[in-house]
Structure formats: C-alpha cells, structure tokens
Structure 1
Amino acid sequence: MQQFHFFPSRTMALYVGRMFFIRTFAILFALVLILQTLDLLGESGKILAVAGNSDSDVWRYVGLRLPQIIETFLPFSVLLGTILTLITLNQNSEVIAMKASGMSAHQVLAPLFLAALLVAGVSFAFNERIVTRATASLSAWQKVDYAQVPTDNGIRSNIWVRAGQDLIHAGRVETGGPELRLADVKIYERTGGVLSGILSADTARPVAGGWEMTDAKRFIRRSGTVEELGTIIAAKGVRPDQFTLAQVKGDELPFPQLKSAIADLEAAGRPVDSLKGVLWHKISGPLSAILMPLLGAVAAFGLARSGKLFVRAILGMGLGFAYFVADNFALAMGDLGAYSPFLAAWGPFILFALIGEMILIRTEE
C-alpha cells in the first residue's frame, strides 16, 4: 500500500524538505552577497560621479538591484540546493534505506517537489510585488545615468498606430494640454496590403467622427502627384488613447497590469507576441523550481561508493543549466517572432520535464 501514497512518511518528508530549504537559501544568500558586491564595485563609481549623489544613493542602488539578483539566481540556487540535498542523502545511504522500505523514486523526490512548489509560489509573489517595481525604478534611474529622474513632460515621440490596413505615424504626441494633439502626422493608406497613398498633416486633434488634420496633403502613389486638402477629418474610429500607450516593458509590470497593457496594445494594432511570451514566462519562470528535483534526481540514486557520485552530480547540474540556456534561447526566439508566445514560455519547461521523467523512469522505476 505504501506505493500508492505520495508521502509514505510525514517525518521523512519534513526531514528532506528542511534539508532542501536550508541548502537552497544558504546558497542563494552566498550567491547574492558575492554578486551584489561585484556589481556594486562596477556601479558605485558611476553613481558617486554624479554631482549631488552620496552614499545614500549607493544604498538606494543596492535596494533596487538586490531584488533583480534574487530573481535571476533563485532558480540556480534551487538547482544547487536540490543536488546538494540528494548527494547528502545518497552519501549517508538514506536513499537506499528509503528504497529498501518500499518507496519508489518518485516518492523519494516527493518532498522536494512540494518544497520546490512552495519556493515557486514565493518567487512568483516576490517578482510581482517587489521585482517589477524595483526594475521600473532602476531602469528610469539608469536612463539618466543615475542623475535625478525628470518629471514627465507629457510629450511622446515616434508613435505608431494601426487602423485597419492603414498605418498612422505621429512624430510627436502632446498630452500635457487641455486636449491631446498630434504633430507631424502621416497616414500610410494601404489597399490589399499595398501602399496606395500617404496622407500627411502638420497637426491633428480629436473631434467627433475622427481627427481634424490641418494643412493636409495626400501623396498618390500611382500617379506620383501631391494633392492639397487643407483641413479635413480623417482616421475615423481611431481613439486618442491609442496614441498615449507608452512603450511596455514586460519585466516592469506585474501579471495583471501586463495582461491589460497587452490587450490595449493589441487593440491599437501594435505587435504583442513578444510581450505575450514574457507574460506567460512570469508563470513558467517561477515554476521551473519544480523541475530542479527531477533534473537533479540523477545525483540521488546509485551507490555512493561506486565512485560515480560526483559524475552524477555534474550530470544533474548539466541538465539544469541546459534548461536555463534553452529557456533564455526560447525567449530570445520569441522576441524575434520565430517562436509563438506559448512555445517561447512553456516549450523548454515541457521538454525538460519529459527528459527528466524519462531519465528517472528508465534508471530507477
């Protein structure tokens, strides 16, 4: 009957889970301490070189950079913590004792799966509540080379909007006045995906039924002529808020806000596939912690005295690092549009889950 219980022993589950937590967060603490120190050595000079900055600005940088380092290296810490836990259990013949009592390989790993799931939940909440805000603040600060971040003047530049087949480009969007105004406006009119003309105007403002364009001109591609139109109403059905959508960075927004921003951008006719990949990776990224016990399981089984324990540990680390490489590669392909958003976010997770399960079944089950 023990084979049908996911946790045959509550005591054993608590023992293994505690070992995993201690080792994982000890490794994370060491990695974060070393990497934050090295990062600070390179950035502190730039921060203090700005007139008016002091030691408090250095500590401000630490407070903003630290969450990013934790987010990046928590999965690595889970991998190393898993392998170290399994090596310890194997060296002490505890894995042999568990299997001799009738436990399967999956039951031996079950406490690690549960502990990794808890880590994944903490990681997701930490990323949503802290990392996104810190990333947005640090990005804005670094854009001005650690000087004082200026207030928003309400001006956007180089904005593109899709309206059916037509493409609208606004050289400048002014949002600070009583009404939104566009400057240096061009509407690329297309028929069947082919450019038929370019409607341009110095300025445009929203009115009932569309946009009032002043000093408008239309270039007709087929004849190569320019037609003077004066003040006209064009771009019907285009909302003003489609021009005020700022550039969205997925790592600076929590999941609900990013999902809403994607919907707005999609309605405005802007490409959103790369952002959809980032959106779903906000879930698949933290869940990668659950893969680590499966990929590191090769270090748990086999006789420690056979002299191959170190080789199995290296193999487990190799599988784990291969997953991280594949994950980053898939996200890059998603940004380029070569992978679909689902494949970019979930492809490596599913692939390495199958690889880990296959290795575990063929060797131990």
Structure 2
Amino acid sequence: MNLQFFASRTMTWYMAKKFLLTSFGVLAALVLVLQTLDLLGESGNILAYPGNGEPQLWQYVSLRVPQLIARFLPFAVLLGALITFVTLNQNSEIIAMKSAGISAHQILAPLILASMGIAILSFSFNERIVARANATLTAWDAADYGPIPVDRGIVSNVWVRSGDDLIHATQASGRGAGVRLTDITVYDRIGGTLETIITGKSATYDRGGWLMKDVRRFDVTRGVAEPLPSLTVARGVTPDRFTLANVDADERNFADLRVAIADLQAAGRPTESLEAGLWHKVSGPLSSVLMPLLAAVAAFGLARSGQLFLRAVIGMALGFAYFVADNFALAMGNIGAYPPLLAAWGPPILFFLIGETVLIRTEE
C-alpha cells in the first residue's frame, strides 16, 4: 500500500496549476456575467439620485464584485475540479496515473492542497474586504445611493420595544452604561392603545432607566401637553438594545463579531444566530477544500464504465447538494433550531464523510 501523500513534485505542480487556472477562470467568467446582470438591474436606482453618474456606477461595481467573489468562489472551485478531472480523463491521464500505481487519494492530493490555499485566501479576502464592502453597500443603499454619512460609531434611527411601549431614538452613541440617546420619543401604550407620547432632546442611562432632559409629555386622551425638566422612562431597557440593535454577521469581521457577541451575552441577549454566522466565517471558506473530493467521482472508474458525462453530473449534484445543505443548516441556526456549531460544521463534516465513502468504496 502506497502511503505517500503526493505521487511526485512534478505531478503535484502540474495538477495544482491546471486546477487553479481553471477555477479562477471559471470564477472570472461567473463574476463578469453576474455583475453585468446585477448592474443592469440596479443602475436605474443608482442614477435616480440627483448628481449620480458613471463614477457612482463604478463605485457600485467595486462594492458588489467582492460579494460575488465571496459567494461564488466555492462554485467556481467545484466547476474547476470537475473540468480538470474530465479533461484528465479525456486525455487518458487518469488511466496512466492508475497504471503507474498512484492511488486515488494521491491523484486527489494536489487539488486538495491547492484548495487549502484557496480557502486561506478566501478567509483573508472576506475578513479584510468583503465585510467592509457589505457594510458600505448596505449604508449606501439605505441612503438611496446618495452621500453616505460618516461612520463615527453612531447608530441611527433605532427602534426598541419594551412590553407594549415603543421607543425611538434618532441617534445612539457610546458603549455600555455611557450610551447617549438623541431626540428620543417614547410611545406609552396600554393594551395596544396609545396613552402618552413623551419626547426629549437627550437621554442617558441612569440606575436601570433612561433619564430624559428637556421633556415634553403629551396626554393623548386629554389632548394636553406638559413640559418637564427631566423624566426617567423605559426602566429595564439596557443600553445594548440601542447600540447592538442591528448586528449583522456579514458586515463584521471575525474579531469584531466576537466582541459584539460578547457584549450581547453580557446583556443577556440571545446570540445563537450570530454565533452560527461567526463559525460559518471559518467553515464557509473551508468548503473549497471539499469540492475536489465531491467532484472526484468524475475522475475515476471511467475505464470500466465509460460514462463520463453521467459521472460529471453526479459530481456536480453532490457539490450543489452540499450548498443546499449548508444554506439550510445556516438558516436553521439563524432561527435557533440548530446549535451554532452544528449549523456551521454539520454540512462540511457530513459531506466529507460522503465523499470519502464514495472514493474508498469505488477506487481504493
């Protein structure tokens, strides 16, 4: 039994180079086509804002392309592995390798090594570029593709519900007990009926409640407004409900998301969906390592069956089944139906076992 992981340096370099060039070529074609279609659909909204023109269209492209690369890189790796294996089979190179005593795992090893490099590159790209692009594009879209407000750590237009009451703040700045609210409005409701509207210029967290300054209280039933110098409202509403009201895992890198999760946990808030997104930042790029294994069904057994097209379809079906399972598990994790670790790591482990079982039973 041959226990060497790589057959030879020359063969490893040859297959890895062929696989990488094919995968990145497929990725470039996919991104080009999808970005063109996306820009055609969104250009009307971008140009609808007065003063926008060609520079804003290129700015949109610069923000959208990283998202497309991050989303479709595993697809490109899957198609690249399939094309590489099919080409090797058509040229009888797989048969020659098997005749030389090279095992199926040794044939697969160069592609696994190359895909590990792709996974590392993908994780770094997501952390440094994609997360920022997601946050910027979301803010730009919220501004109707107009000027984006400067981000100074201020959360704008925050709504919080406390029992039947609704609380709105134009801005929330700061962290922890030092959070300050600006232009706050409290809609005091009893049984769904609006009783009182309380407005204030500012509010600070004070002994479990929010101390409002320059208060105006309007009694809806009597139609009477009453000015007050200060008033404490919303007892039991913690500061994190304003500052961490809209934490999006896609818009934060791994380190920032861990800090946000820790803050939410300290405040007793549920974090299961964010934890699933945190671990998926690692398991997502690693899915590229699985693609050659799932596509390997297109590489072997052709000398016996000759059904190249059918095996390529089976390999593609296994790859797409993985993406369906991964998205389903992540969705279940977001709603709390799956534990975060299971949601992020369940599909990769399951399809790794499936791929290894098929490879060992058919070829080893």
TM-score of Structure 1 vs Structure 2, range by shorter chain: 0.7 to 0.9
Partner residue of 2:332?
333
Question: Alpha-carbon deviation of 1:211?
Answer: 3.7
Question: Alpha-carbon deviation of 1:89?
Answer: 1.3
Partner residue of 1:97?
96
Partner residue of 2:271?
272
Partner residue of 1:184?
186
Is 1:47 the counterpart of 2:28? The answer is no
Q: Is the 8 Å Cα contact of residues 140 and 148 (structure 2) preserved in structure 1?
A: yes
Post-superposition Cα deviations, 1:121-152, rounded to whole Å, max 9, x if no partner, equal: 11111111111111111111112221223457
Letter of the 1:288 counterpart: S
User: Taking structure 1 as reference, are residues 130 and 101 closer, same or farther at Cα in structure 2, changes over 3 Å only?
Assistant: same
Structure 2 Cα separation of the partners of residues 18 and 46 of structure 1: 42
Q: Is the 8 Å Cα contact of residues 24 and 82 (structure 1) preserved in structure 2?
A: yes
User: Taking structure 1 as reference, are residues 45 and 99 closer, same or farther at Cα in structure 2, changes over 3 Å only?
Assistant: same
Structure 2 Cα separation of the partners of residues 269 and 185 of structure 1: 25
User: Taking structure 1 as reference, are residues 44 and 185 closer, same or farther at Cα in structure 2, changes over 3 Å only?
Assistant: closer
Question: Alpha-carbon deviation of 1:347?
Answer: 1.0
Question: Alpha-carbon deviation of 1:169?
Answer: 6.9
Structure 2 Cα separation of the partners of residues 240 and 274 of structure 1: 21
User: Taking structure 1 as reference, are residues 247 and 341 closer, same or farther at Cα in structure 2, changes over 3 Å only?
Assistant: same
User: Taking structure 1 as reference, are residues 262 and 201 closer, same or farther at Cα in structure 2, changes over 3 Å only?
Assistant: farther
Post-superposition Cα deviations, 1:54-86, rounded to whole Å, max 9, x if no partner, equal: 110000000000001111111000000001111
Is 1:157 the counterpart of 2:158? The answer is yes
Question: Alpha-carbon deviation of 1:176?
Answer: 6.3
User: Taking structure 1 as reference, are residues 291 and 176 closer, same or farther at Cα in structure 2, changes over 3 Å only?
Assistant: closer
Q: Identity of counterpart residues, as a percentage?
A: 56
Question: Alpha-carbon deviation of 1:317?
Answer: 0.3
Greater shift, 75-84 or 332-341, is seen at 332-341
Question: Alpha-carbon deviation of 1:335?
Answer: 1.5
Partner residue of 2:280?
281
Q: Is the 8 Å Cα contact of residues 158 and 172 (structure 1) preserved in structure 2?
A: yes
Post-superposition Cα deviations, 1:82-113, rounded to whole Å, max 9, x if no partner, equal: 01111111122211222222221111100010
Provide structure 1 residue ranges, at least 5 long, that are not aligned to the other structure. Answer: 189-199, 216-229
Provide structure 2 residue ranges, at least 5 long, that are not aligned to the other structure. Answer: 191-195, 216-229
Letter of the 1:172 counterpart: A
| Correspondence for 1:172 among 169, 174, 186 | 169
Question: Alpha-carbon deviation of 1:303?
Answer: 2.6
Greater shift, 329-338 or 140-149, is seen at 140-149
User: Taking structure 1 as reference, are residues 286 and 99 closer, same or farther at Cα in structure 2, changes over 3 Å only?
Assistant: same
Partner residue of 1:196?
none
Q: Is the 8 Å Cα contact of residues 155 and 243 (structure 2) preserved in structure 1?
A: no
Q: Is the 8 Å Cα contact of residues 23 and 84 (structure 1) preserved in structure 2?
A: yes
Structure 1 Cα separation of the partners of residues 133 and 309 of structure 2: 39
Structure 2 Cα separation of the partners of residues 364 and 154 of structure 1: 57
Structure 1 Cα separation of the partners of residues 93 and 264 of structure 2: 55
Q: Is the 8 Å Cα contact of residues 212 and 234 (structure 1) preserved in structure 2?
A: yes
Match of 2:52, SS state, is: coil
Structure 2 Cα separation of the partners of residues 160 and 71 of structure 1: 35
Question: Alpha-carbon deviation of 1:179?
Answer: 7.2
Question: Alpha-carbon deviation of 1:48?
Answer: 1.3
Match of 1:322, SS state, is: helix
User: Taking structure 1 as reference, are residues 69 and 364 closer, same or farther at Cα in structure 2, changes over 3 Å only?
Assistant: same
Structure 2 Cα separation of the partners of residues 305 and 246 of structure 1: 59
